[in-house]
């Protein structure tokens, strides 16, 4: 086993098909790990001669696809971010998790996507991918605005996509804020569906788009992620600088005293109050709701706030409600302070999202959009790439590896 100072950086990305330290151990590492920092350990696998490091906190296996050949850069990721990233901006993605595999001469990102709710589309042209790559390379502190189009690949349908969206697959419309507040029957129906759909909705995993954005944030390329989604997938992926524009389905609030409750905790309360209601897997809505008959809804017991007895509501912005003013101001400040706006997977149909693009235009910030189909801002932006985010972002990452790093 080589000493730590003799370790080299793989010029081509490789990875072992393991996701934690225990499985890496089972994959035939023959000697103790080399510790290159307090948080990083490096293994050399017998089976395919690949270098793999594990992070002590997350216990996640990564490929040592660091974007250079110089041995001195094999250090803690914080070191790479402070020194190497400043010296060579092409290193904005120096590692990628185990979605990466080596195949033949090149490196590709394996598809870990559920395309059931993704509209059919043609792959983006090479020219468009290159233009988007140049946009990302040129701007070092991006504000990223994401919509339902990035979560469809995790198995969450959006509302508006032709043939696969909820409006196309169901006659039922989203519950309006006023309806929820005014009608006990509507609240019971909403919570009954939400209760049944919660186990599946809450267990869905981030996809490759979420993972890449996490790494772009980690190395300083992304300064802020503003998401319209309430699915918590950015946070599950590990992103830290996330503004949940429309709130989160993983938290519940009281309309009377503003007391907050964890949604998982409320699920256990629902189970105690409704022991005969069996959670089944059915078609989920973007907010975690499902389709149930009126007979299934009748008799469903909904708890009141345990603090004041008030009405409980998911901590999300319903249709007909407004985004809190302080959140709007926070987004505006981030748009003004960052260098460019990258919009992913949204038609910008809601004004709360479209307003962010208008703010970027007023601040003279460059704007790029990646989406399947038309958006509200197509005629007033710098760059539009038509296609699936889970297809385009990995291609940009691969171009940075192959063109700038493998010499």
Answer yes or no: are the C-beta atoms of 12 and 100 closer than 8 Å: no
The answer to whether 204 and 148 are in contact (CB under 8 A) is no
**Residues making up the binding site:** 254, 257, 305, 308
C-alpha count within 13 angstroms, C-beta hemisphere, residue 129: 19
Can 246 be counted among the known catalytic residues? yes
β-bridge pairing 247-254 and 61-63: unpaired
Cα–Cα nearest to 71, from 14, 3, 15: 3
Count the neighbouring beta carbons within 10 Å of the beta carbon of residue 28. 12
| Bridging pattern class, strands 100-103 and 106-109 | antiparallel
Catalytic residue among 246, 259, 264, 325: 246
> How many angstroms separate the Cα of 213 from the Cα of each of 242, 246, 252, 290?
11, 19, 27, 29
Cα(386)–Cα(388) distance, rounded to whole angstroms? 7
**DSSP class of residue 114?**
B
Sign of CA dihedral 308, 228, 145, 332: negative
Alpha helices in 292-372 (DSSP H): 294-297, 325-337, 351-362
* CA 219 vs CA 84, 149, 171: distances in Å: 10, 24, 44
User: What residues form the annotated binding site for Zn(2+)?
Assistant: 254, 257, 305, 308
Coil vs helix vs strand at 102: strand
Residues designated catalytic: 246
């Amino acid at each position: 086993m080589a000493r730590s100072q003799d370790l080299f950086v793989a010029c081509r990305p490789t990875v072992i098909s393991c996701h934690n330290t225990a499985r890496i151990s089972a994959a035939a590492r023959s000697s103790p790990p080399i510790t290159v920092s307090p948080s990083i350990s490096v293994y050399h696998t017998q089976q395919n001669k690949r270098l793999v490091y594990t992070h002590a906190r997350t216990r996640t296996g990564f490929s040592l696809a660091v974007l250079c050949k110089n041995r001195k850069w094999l250090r803690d990721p914080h070191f790479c971010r402070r020194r190497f990233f400043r010296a060579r901006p092409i290193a904005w993605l120096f590692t990628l998790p185990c979605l990466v595999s080596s195949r033949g001469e090149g490196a590709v990102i394996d598809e870990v996507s559920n395309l059931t709710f993704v509209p059919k589309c043609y792959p983006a042209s090479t020219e468009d991918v290159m233009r988007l790559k140049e946009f990302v390379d040129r701007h070092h502190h991006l504000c990223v605005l994401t919509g339902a189009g990035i979560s469809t690949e995790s198995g969450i349908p959006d509302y508006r996509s032709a043939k696969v969206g909820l409006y196309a697959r169901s006659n039922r419309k989203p519950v309006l804020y006023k309806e929820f507040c005014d009608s006990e029957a509507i609240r019971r129906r909403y919570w009954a569906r939400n209760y049944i759909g919660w186990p599946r909705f809450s267990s869905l995993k981030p996809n490759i788009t979420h993972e890449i954005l996490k790494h772009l944030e980690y190395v300083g390329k992304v300064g802020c992620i503003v998401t319209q989604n309430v699915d918590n997938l950015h946070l599950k992926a590990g992103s830290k600088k996330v503004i949940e524009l429309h709130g989160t389905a993983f938290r519940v609030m009281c309309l009377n005293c503003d007391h907050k409750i964890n949604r998982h905790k409320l699920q256990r309360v629902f189970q105690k109050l409704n022991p005969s209601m069996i959670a089944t897997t059915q078609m989920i809505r973007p907010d975690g709701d499902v389709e149930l008959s009126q007979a299934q809804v009748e008799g469903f017991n909904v708890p009141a706030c345990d603090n004041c007895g008030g009405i409980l509501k998911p901590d999300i912005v319903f249709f007909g409600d407004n985004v809190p003013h302080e959140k709007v101001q926070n987004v505006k400040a981030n748009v003004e302070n960052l260098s460019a706006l990258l919009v992913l997977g949204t038609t910008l149909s809601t004004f709360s999202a479209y307003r962010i693009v208008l703010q970027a235009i007023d601040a003279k910030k460059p704007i790029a959009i990646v989406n399947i189909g038309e958006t509200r801002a197509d005629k007033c932006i710098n760059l539009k790439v038509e296609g699936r985010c889970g297809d385009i972002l990995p291609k940009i990452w691969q171009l940075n590896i192959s063109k700038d790093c493998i010499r």
